[in-house]
Structure 1
Amino acid sequence: MAITHATDQTFKAETGSGTVLVDFWAPWCGPCKMIAPVLEELDQELGEKVKIVKVDVDENPETAGQFGIMSIPTLLVLKEGEVVDKVVGFSPKEALAGVLAKHI
């Protein structure tokens, strides 16, 4: 599965079903750039089990505000549209895979 980019308008449709890892990020954020290849690897390994959605907080302030995003990167795990887990800041792949494993 490919990583999807969601906007304020498409967020609900993109994250409403299944297990979704949402990456709140911005192009100027250093740790966000560091986590991007980690998310690519997780996407390759987890395939159909987890959908990965990126939300640019600068372009989509409504969605970021709705979830109270104060620092980036913030990763939320949603299950059927409900937040079930949260990771703030850079995390290594093994740590993120562990968080996701609890929900798939």
Structure 2
Amino acid sequence: MKSTELNSSSFDAALAASTGPVLVDFWAPWCGPCQQLGPVIDQIAAEQQGKALVAKVNVDDARDLAGRYGIRSIPTLIVFRDGQPVQRLQGVQAKERITAALAAA
């Protein structure tokens, strides 16, 4: 299972519909570290299926979302709970660190 692609029109509805925590990877196709992190995010999506929503937002396509959440560098991972950001991780992170942040939400 791959992560869910979200954009400006689907983002708020997806967060509102989620009953568990939501991990959002803010990324761009031209970003090398983002490409490195991508397979890890997809692994987490597969493992968290039914427990958490794991999504990606392309900052080039959703500049408004990048602005709303103050994304200054990518990759940036934000964990949301009840639609609110509760934790932020910047740069390439170990899978364990990401899953721990998701579990703490």
Identity %: 43
Task: Write the deviation string for residues 60-84 of structure 1: whole angstroms up to 9, x where unpaired.
Answer: 1001100010000000000111001
CA-atom RMSD in angstroms? 1.1
Is 1:62 paired with 2:64? yes
- 1:87 maps to which residue? 89
| TM-score normalised according to structure 1 size | 0.93
Deviation (angstroms), 1:51: 0.4
Aligned length: 103
**What CA distance in whole angstroms lies between the structure 2 residues aligned with 1:6 and 1:97?**
20
Gaps in structure 2 of 5+ consecutive residues = none
Which residue identity lines up with residue 41 of structure 2 in the other structure? Answer: L
Question: Runs in 1 of length 4+ with deviation above 2 angstroms?
Answer: none
**What CA distance in whole angstroms lies between the structure 2 residues aligned with 1:78 and 1:35?**
19
Task: Write the deviation string for residues 77-96 of structure 1: whole angstroms up to 9, x where unpaired.
Answer: 00111001110000011111
Which residue identity lines up with residue 70 of structure 1 in the other structure? Answer: R
Gaps in structure 1 of 5+ consecutive residues = none
Task: Judge which range, 80-89 or 43-52, deviates more.
Answer: 43-52
**What CA distance in whole angstroms lies between the structure 2 residues aligned with 1:53 and 1:97?**
14
**What CA distance in whole angstroms lies between the structure 2 residues aligned with 1:59 and 1:43?**
22
SS in 2 for 1:78: strand
